[in-house]
């Protein structure tokens, strides 16, 4: 086993990890569709989807454990005689087994996308129930949903309605995914920080890692478009 082949394997795994994240987002989106159709958050279908997203969480954690094992053991090998490379596979396997044994169900439940799945389903069910009961009343609890006005769906960067809204975990503001990622990339290329474009926000260093896809907001935008098309 060579270090170059190890790095190639890690690169492939990280690509798989991105696919797992995308799969978890799709599961969450399907779940919101079920809540919208059924108006409840405790159906058997949602239970199945929750099991799926937890399985994705387990796979994601296992990849993290493997990457940590490889990074740790290859760092050690570089400091040892060349023959140590012959034992790299076994040492990585042993360390991986140790790390995965320490992963608990609670760890899987705390995965950010699992938390977001449950939070989005709960909030959307509450919103759907309240909307059905109150018909067109727009005074929704601020903790349950953003007021459904078109202004809230406008990206502060593009000044047009967002398509794939992402939420900044630090300041809570939303942007269109493509626009904000391009802006962050451009700023970093020039060795500059990207400040949150929302007027009055003090967040002066928005990072890619601060952003998470807001499926609840995306669903609200889609509903808004459908309603607007009817009028």
Domain range for 112 is: 3-132
Do 184 and 208 form a contact (C-beta atoms < 8 A)?
yes
pLDDT at 211 over 90: yes
Q: What is the distance between the alpha carbons of residues 207 and 171, in angstroms, rounded to a whole number?
A: 12
User: How far lies 97's CA from each of 92, 117, 175, in Å?
Assistant: 9, 29, 40
44-77 and 88-101 helices, crossing angle to 10°: 140
Point out the domain boundary residue: 107, 132, 157: 132
- What is the value of pTM for the model shown? 0.66
**Do residues 127 and 22 both lie within one domain?**
yes
Range in 1-10, 138-147, 158-167 the model is least confident about: 138-147
**Do residues 126 and 158 both lie within one domain?**
no
How many other C-beta atoms are found inside a 10 Å radius of the C-beta of residue 136?
A: 7
The per-residue pLDDT for 140 is 44
Range list of β-strands (E), the chain? 165-168, 174-176, 211-213
């Amino acid at each position: 086993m060579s270090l170059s082949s190890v790095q190639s394997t890690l690169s492939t795994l990280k690509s798989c990890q991105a696919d797992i994240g995308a799969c978890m987002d799709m599961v969450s989106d399907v779940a919101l569709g079920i809540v919208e159709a059924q108006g409840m958050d405790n159906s058997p279908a949602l239970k199945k989807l929750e099991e799926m997203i937890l399985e994705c969480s387990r796979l994601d954690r296992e990849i993290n454990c493997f990457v940590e094992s490889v990074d740790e053991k290859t760092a050690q090998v570089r400091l040892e005689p060349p023959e140590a490379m012959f034992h790299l596979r076994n040492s990585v396997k042993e360390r991986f087994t140790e790390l995965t044994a320490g992963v608990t169900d609670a760890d899987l439940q705390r995965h950010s996308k699992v938390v977001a799945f449950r939070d989005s389903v709960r909030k959307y069910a509450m919103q759907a129930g309240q909307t059905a009961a109150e018909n067109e009343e727009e005074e929704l609890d601020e903790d349950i949903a953003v007021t459904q006005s078109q202004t809230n769906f406008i990206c502060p960067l593009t000044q047009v309605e967002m398509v794939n809204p992402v939420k900044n975990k630090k300041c809570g503001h939303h942007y269109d995914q493509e626009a904000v990622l391009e802006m962050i990339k451009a700023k970093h290329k020039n060795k500059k920080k990207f400040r949150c474009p929302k007027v009055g926000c003090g967040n002066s260093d928005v990072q890619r890692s601060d952003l998470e896809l807001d499926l609840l907001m995306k669903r609200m935008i889609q509903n808004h478009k459908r309603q607007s098309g009817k009028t």
